[in-house]
Amino acid sequence: MEESYRCWLQYRFVQDTQRFYQYRKWVSNIVVARETEIINSAARELQDALKSMLNLKPSIWRHPFHQQPFLFLGSYEDINPENHGISASLLNRLDDEGYLLKTVNNQILVIGKTDRGTLYATFHLLRLLQCEQPIDSLEITDSPKNQLRMINQWDNMDGSIERGYSGNSIFFRDNDFVDDLTRVKNYARFLASVGINAISINNVNVWNLETRLITKEFLPKVKEVAEIFKSYAITVFLSINFASPIELGGLSTADPLDRDVQKWWENKAKEIYQYIPDFGGFVVKADSEGRPGPFTYHRSHAEGANVLARALKPYNGKVIWRCFVYNYLQDWRDRSTDRAKAAYDHFGPLDGQFLDNVILQIKNGPMDFQVREPVSPLLGAMKKTNQMIEFQITQEYTGQQIDVCYLVPQWKEVFDFDTYAQGESSTVKSIVNGSLYNCKYSGVAGVSNIGDDVNWTGHALAQANLYGFGRLIWNPDLSTEQITKEWIYLTFGIHQQVVEPIKWILLHSWETYENYTAPLGVGWMVNPNHHYGPNVDGYEYSKWGTYHFADRDGIGVDRTVETGTGYTAQYFSPCSEIYNSLECCPDELLLFFHHVPYSHQLKSGKTVIQHIYDTHFEGVETVKLFIKLWDSLEGKIDNGIFQNVKERLKRQLENAIEWRDQINTYFYRKSGVPDEKNRMIYR
């Protein structure tokens, strides 16, 4: 099996002699206190990892013994806490997915509040071993900060993946499920190792064939997949077509207030749960980009979501209702229909109208996963409604896994953003973990970046985004530095001459991509439809002009209250005043909120036009440095990974140069202002 296929579960042989024998002492014997599907998965993972790292086949026991050290695998119910120096209050503070790692007497306790916690504790222990950390005095407790930690697959049943940059689907092929589910099992392992506990396996754009996933034709196969994920503590959801009562049931309507429609969904939910008793529920994209929804029947999103929620409620199922709703045929010259305002305008007035098993899934920004945009004002705006945030791990607008763009710093910035929804310290992370408004359900979802490429993500370094997403949503207080080093250690080993160049590339990649693409938050200057490469006037949903409103005098979108779309008023104070003020608005978002002259002076002291020139040249030079740093790793890492990234960096440099030349030429011709450093390359 290639190294790139194993992602961060490399389980390299332990080279340090002292660590090698210390580890063997503790893990040669494993006591498995109870057998469940999930604990059996944990035990198998341990056995496979120890064979690889220590050339050891541990003995498995069912009861503790006292002759020699052992590793104890079980739940807190399997021990007497007092005998192990564990306070009852400590265990009570853990949630159902929490765990304890503790070295006591002659054993290492790997115990969870439930078997799910035991699985997460196992992967934590294996992280320590892979990073060659001491384990002879462990005392670690941990619980996830977010309740729902979810992956959204955008896989289609023909085998393609919408916004997929890593090959074809690992679930579907030729309008059916794949026969060999080995990759699905390995994917479940990878996701469980970073704490993911839910997945929707099909595209949110549900077309004719995908609609049938909730029928008897395909439910037995959905069950097979669900059983694999269940053994790794991951719950399966399905994206559904709101018009299913018409498409599948032969009804003349999908009106959520129609009694026949309500009955159809009730029967459908009953049928699904007969196949999959722990089915998670539905993910729904409705009334957006041509998908059917309640608007067809003059019903609200709350009425549309609630008909599904009532059907699922007897089985503890959930409806995850996406808030990506806007009029994509709008006239962009009409400032009253600002796309950025759409989610707030549609959903804000519905607060308190959704049933308690509905969760609104809100994109991190108001537009569409741009390299830089503000936090969505809908986050925190609905105090009586469950809500979760949606990130895009797949790099649709951030280089498509051709260009390296490590997104953990971006996500970290979003989590830490203070909305002031309930005054100071109303951070996004406190909203999506449910604590700010005491939500019944909440969490984080990410659009997957994997496919059937050998290395899963097309670009080997893009694995860091999947790993980092899982670790960050488990605990948004983890530092970017810690997550980054963890991934490098697990994937490449702990030698600093390898670690430091990769870390530098990753930690500078988001800023670099932003530098040679979108200046100052304006975004969207990409080729329509496929979204890779520069096209300054290419905003695909605007038939009537450019998104950035550049003319001979200036650039940017006026979203102020006084003269623009009024979007800034959707934020809580003082954010609304900061964004509305030309003087106070952060430079990195200036053109998202304001139309300014090219001569406008930024807080850096540069003019807008000079900033555009400089950053695009800087972006290219940094990519050249990435290549130099990566070339220094030849012979020090797996050659397959080395060649994969080398090839991608070559393509990234070509892309960066094209962006630099087209953007700078465009704005020179538009503004008539030359680069003060006289570096222009006209195209």
| H or E element at residue 430 | helix 428-432
Check 258, 368, 588, 638 and give the catalytic one.
Answer: 368
> What is the distance between the alpha carbons of residues 345 and 138, in angstroms, rounded to a whole number?
51
Q: Which amino acid is at 683?
A: R
Pick the closest to residue 449 from 226, 187, 232 (CA basis).
Answer: 187
Of 289, 477, 481, 676, the catalytic one is: 289
How far apart are the C-alpha atoms of 519 and 591, rounded to whole Å?
Answer: 8
Q: Strand locations in 2-42, DSSP E? A: 29-32
368 catalytic? Reply is yes
Q: In this structure, how many other beta carbons lie within 10 angstroms of the beta carbon of residue 529?
A: 8
3-class secondary structure for 136-161?
CCCEEEECCCCCEEEEECCECCCCCE
Residue 102: closest CA among 64, 72, 131: 72
Nearest-angstrom CA–CA distance, 88 and 66: 24
Backbone angles phi, psi at 537, to 5 degrees: -105, 25
- Residue pair 29/70 in contact (Cβ under 8 Å)? The answer is yes
Q: Which of 115, 255, 390, 396 is catalytic?
A: 396
Give the list of residues 6+ apart from residue 296 with CB closer than 8 angstroms, or none: 254, 287
Type of residue at 272: I
Identify whether 289 is a catalytic site residue.
yes
Please tell me the distance from the alpha carbon of residue 648 to that of residue 400, in angstroms, as a whole number.
11
Residues 669 and 683: their CA atoms lie apart, in Å, by 11
For residue 453, indicate whether it is catalytic: no
Q: Please, what sign has the CA dihedral across residues 554, 555, 560, 563?
A: positive
* Residue 651 vs residues 113, 170, 533, 584: alpha-carbon distances, Å: 48, 26, 11, 38
- The closest alpha carbon to 397, from 246, 576, 517, belongs to 517
The number of C-alpha atoms within 13 Å of 649 and in the hemisphere containing its C-beta is 24
Give residues with Cβ within 8 angstroms of 647, minimum separation 6: none
Residue owning tokens 């002759």? 67
Give a three-class secondary structure readout of 193-227: HCCCCEEECCCCCCCHHHHHHHCCCCHHHHHHHHH
Which candidate, 598, 591, 618, places its Cα nearest to that of 521? 591
Taken in order 206, 212, 214, 219, is the CA torsion positive or negative?
Answer: negative
Neighbouring-strand partners of residue 237: 200, 281
Contacts with 659 (C-beta within 8 Å, 6 or more apart), sequence order: 516, 517, 533, 534, 616, 619
Distance CA 502, CA 653 (A): 17
- Please choose, from the candidates 215, 587, 639, 133, the residue with its C-alpha nearest in 3D space to the C-alpha of residue 372: 587
Q: Confirm if 473 and 147 have CB atoms less than 8 A apart.
A: no
φ, ψ for residue 335 (rounded to 5)? -70, -15
Residue 138 tokens read as 């462990």
Structure tokens at 533: 């490469």
**Residue numbers annotated as active site:** 289, 368, 396
